[in-house]
Structures are given as structure tokens and as C-alpha cells.
Amino acid sequence: MRLCFGKPSSHSTKLSLLAFVALVGTGLGLDAVAQTDTIRQYQIDNGELAIKTVPRPTPGANEVLVRVRAVSLNRRDLGVIQGTYGPGGTSTSVPLSDGAGEVIAIGTGVTRFRVGDRVASTFFTNWIDGESPQGLSARGGDVDGMLSEMIVSPEDALVRIPDYMSYEEAATLPCAGLTAFNALFKLADLQPDEFVLLEGTGGVSIFGLQFALAADARAIITSSSDAKIERARELGAFGTVNYRTVPEWQHDVRSLTGGAGVDHVLEVGGRDTLPRAVEALGDGGHITIIGGLSGFGGQVPADALSAAGGRVSRIYVGSRADFEAMNAFLAKHELHPLVDRVFSFEEAPAAFEFMEESRHFGKIVIAL
């Protein structure tokens, strides 16, 4: 993937009276970015990541202006830039779905937030509760995302973040965190002592590990890196398997369960790992299809799945109400998302390269 900086356009920097009054009046401090008439953001320009200077956005009715403090990356974001995400590509200019910051101005009719509130973006801007609606709008895909010093958002497309979390931690929650939470507790009804198979050590899998431990379940992690495997053990993984040195890793996974097989699988690997995940599945087990690191497609081994009495579900993140339920769980257990590395705003292209090289353990964050 080729990433580059675009040359910022030339604009004068002026003090915004509205931002000044809002910040001083609420004790937020004099953040230089929040006082300007222009902001910086990254845009996708002919398949490249370019930094631009654009006019400061203004919230309309039922909208809020958020000073973004941190954003995080997901594997999806590489496909967005490369133009390979989704069957029809994307229409976004600004990438990334996940971010956190503070409300610095509100439009008319806003009732859910006030200036000074700490918030995170929801992955979908129009999925509030219940079943997903037709025509979902995903940040950083169908609509502009979070890699911007400020964003305007519908008030319904934000949630308050746990008081004890930093912005960097909260920025990791909207996609990977919620996906893992819904997979384990909404679709799978995870119970104590059950076995959970987690593939790799990316964002979803490490959130899965943390959630499983909080629920007193037993997590088994696969990875190609002995160093990452050791880190997973230190966090509390019940068992680990190096899939590079043990290509038929499903047998070792079953052995770790005493031969019974796992109860739940967070399937992020795709067509290369799904058949092995099914072989590792215990009687009545459940597989949640999440990602496709090795590519999508292929067939679910129906005979093996049927023999195990297992079932397969597909998940696509979740609603705002799901996010709020996850935040309550996080606060109850005082969980801190695992952030591997924090890049500066200017280092954003390097963060994408770090993701592409799969060097991370947990989440990659960009601070603004």
C-alpha cells in the first residue's frame, strides 16, 4: 500500500469566538485546534492517504461538534484505502470508523450531550437499537470517518465513554471491541468455564481474550509468533498454539480442551481457518464469522458442523444500544483495552503500514 502526505492548503488561522467561549466556560482549556477556523484531516486521494486543511465544520440541528482526541485502526481500514473493501467500494473521503474526543459545540435541538462530554463514535451512524435497519451507514465507508481533528456527528451516533478510560483506550471500542462483545455475549451467551477459540492477536481477538477472562471463561489463542503467544499467556490465556509451527493446529486446540472441543470460536481468519475451526468445535458449539484475513469465500464444512451439532452466525459490529451495554460491562470489570502503539497525527501513514505488516498485539491508535 502506498501512502503519502498531501500538501496542506493555505488558510489563515483565526480565533473562533464560539470555541473560545465554550472551552473557557467549561474548563476544558485552550486547545489550539479547537480555536481555529480550519482543521486538518486525512483524506483518501486516488488510493493514497493525504493530509488536507479544510474549513472548520459547524453542527446543525441535532448535531454536535467533536474535537477528536484519538482514533484507532481496524483491518477494514486497509481495504477502504486500497479500494477493496465491500463489493461496491466506498464513498468516503475521510477514513476510520473508530474515534473518541470531547464535545465542543452543539447544534439546536441536541438533548443527549452538552459541551465538555467525553464521547466515542458509533461504527454505524444510523443503527440505534434492535435489528439493523436497511441502508446502514458506516463511518469511514459509506460516510466520512474519524481521522480528522474535528467531526460533526448526529447526536444519536455517539456514546459517552467510561470515566476511567483515556481517549486512546476509548478510541479502540467502536468496531473491534463491540464485535467481540456481541459475538461472545449476544450471539454466543458465553458462560463461565466454557472454551473460547481466538484466532490471532489483533484487536477483536485480544478484546475476546479480555472479555472471556472477565466472564471466567477459558480462552485459547492461536498465533504465528512465539513472542505474541507469550504475551497472551501473561494476560491469562488458558492455552496457546503456534499455527506456523503446527499447521494442523485444530488437533492441539482440541487436546487443550481435553478432547471435548471448544464451545465458541471468533472466526477472523477466513477461508483458510474456518475448516480447522469447525474441526476444533465441540458438541453444540458456536462459530461467529467476523473477518477474512486469508480471504473470504469457500464453503462451510457442513458435514463436520452438523456432526458436532454446531451452528454458525455472522456478525457486523452492532448498534448504539449494544455499545452502551458493552461500556457498562467494561466499567463493571474496569477493563482497559490493550493498546499496542500510539502514533501521532503526522505519523498516520506509518500507523497504517504497521497494521498492514501485522506487527501489532491488540490495537493501533493515532493521537490527535
Edge-to-edge order in the sheet of strand 281-289: 239-242, 218-223, 195-199, 262-267, 281-289, 311-314
Domains contained in the chain, CATH given = 17-172+337-367 (3.90.180.10), 177-314 (3.40.50.720)
At residue 45 the predicted structure's pLDDT band, cuts being 50, 70 and 90, is confident
Nearest 5°: the CA angle 114, 326, 173 is 75
pLDDT digits (tens, 9 = 90+) for 134-168: 899 999 998 999 999 999 999 999 999 999 999 99
Do 193 and 218 meet the contact criterion of CB atoms below 8 Å apart? Answer: yes
Among candidate residues 277, 238, 243, the one with its CA nearest the CA of residue 261: 277
Q: Which of 305, 336, 365 is nearest to 209 (CA)?
A: 336
Q: What is the pLDDT of residue 31?
A: 78
**Which residues 6+ apart lie within 8 Å of 85 measured at CB?**
76, 79, 141
Q: How many CB atoms lie within 10 A of CB 11?
A: 14
**Exposed, middle or buried by CB within 10 Å (0-12, 13-18, 19+), for 309?**
exposed
When computed from its CA atoms, the radius of gyration of the chain, rounded to whole angstroms, is 21
Whether residue 113 has pLDDT greater than 50: yes
- Helix H, strand E, coil C: the string for 225-251 is CHHHHHHHHHHCCCEEEECCCCCCHHH
Q: What is the mean pLDDT of residues 171-181?
A: 98
Q: What is the mean pLDDT of the chain?
A: 87
Does residue 304 carry a pLDDT above 70? no
The pair phi, psi for residue 119, each rounded to 5°, is -135, 160
User: What confidence score (pLDDT) does residue 48 get?
Assistant: 87
The span from the CA of 362 to the CA of 340, in Å, is 6
Q: Is the pLDDT of residue 368 over 60?
A: yes
Averaged pLDDT, 314-333: 96
Tell me, rounded to whole angstroms, the distance of Cα 111 from its chain centroid: 27
pLDDT at 27 over 70: no
Question: Residue 271: what pLDDT?
Answer: 67
- The neighbouring-strand residues paired with 281 are 262
Distance of alpha carbon 81 from alpha carbon 307, whole angstroms: 41
Residue 269 to residue 295: CA distance in whole angstroms: 8
Whole-prediction pTM value?
0.88
| Residue pLDDT, tens place only, 208-255 | 999 999 999 999 999 999 999 999 999 999 999 999 999 999 999 999
Beta bridge partners of 61: none
Give the three cell numbers for residue 335: 477493563
Helix (H), strand (E) at residue 292: none
pLDDT band at 82 (very low <50, low <70, confident <90, very high): confident
Q: Where are the beta strands (DSSP E) in 28-96?
A: 38-45, 48-55, 63-72
Question: CA 215 to CA 238: how far, in whole Å?
Answer: 13
